[in-house]
Amino acid sequence: MGRVKLEIKRIENPTNRQVTFSKRRNGLIKKAYELSILCDIDIAVIMFSPSGRVNHFSGRRRIEDVFTRYINLPDQVRDNAVSFPELPYRRGIQNKEYLLRTLQQLRSENDIALQLAKFV
């Protein structure tokens, strides 16, 4: 008995979209973790949920270190990286300023979490 092949398109129902995101997010993070262990690589995954919450994962190094390493690569090296065909929502991802803003947001959220942890 095989699985039903899903058409890859936006899920219109917000509840179904959130449930699918949650399940696939966990699967993606698991695969990223396994890849980092099996191949001894630095890996960072960042994603935003349908509700706008940031989710991230990094392997052996802090996510900031991985993104800083990427940002510091020469433009020619980054331009030759394997990526999906350009899609409207992916154009900003390869932009240095976008990555820096995301990095600053993560640092800010980390600082807030550390402050809250002091009160617990």
Segments making up each domain of the chain, as ranges: 14-119
Average pLDDT score over the chain: 82
Q: Provide mean pLDDT across the span 63-84.
A: 80
Higher pLDDT, 4 or 40: 40
Q: Provide mean pLDDT across the span 15-21.
A: 91
What's the confidence (pLDDT) of residue 84?
58
- Its sign, for the CA torsion 10, 43, 28, 53, is negative
Q: What are phi and psi of 15, to 5 degrees?
A: -65, -50
Residue with tokens 């980390």: 110
Buried b (16+ CB within 10 A) or exposed e, 52-68: eeeeebbbeeebeebbe
The CATH number assigned to the domain with range 14-119 reads 3.40.1810.10
Higher pLDDT, 85 or 81: 81
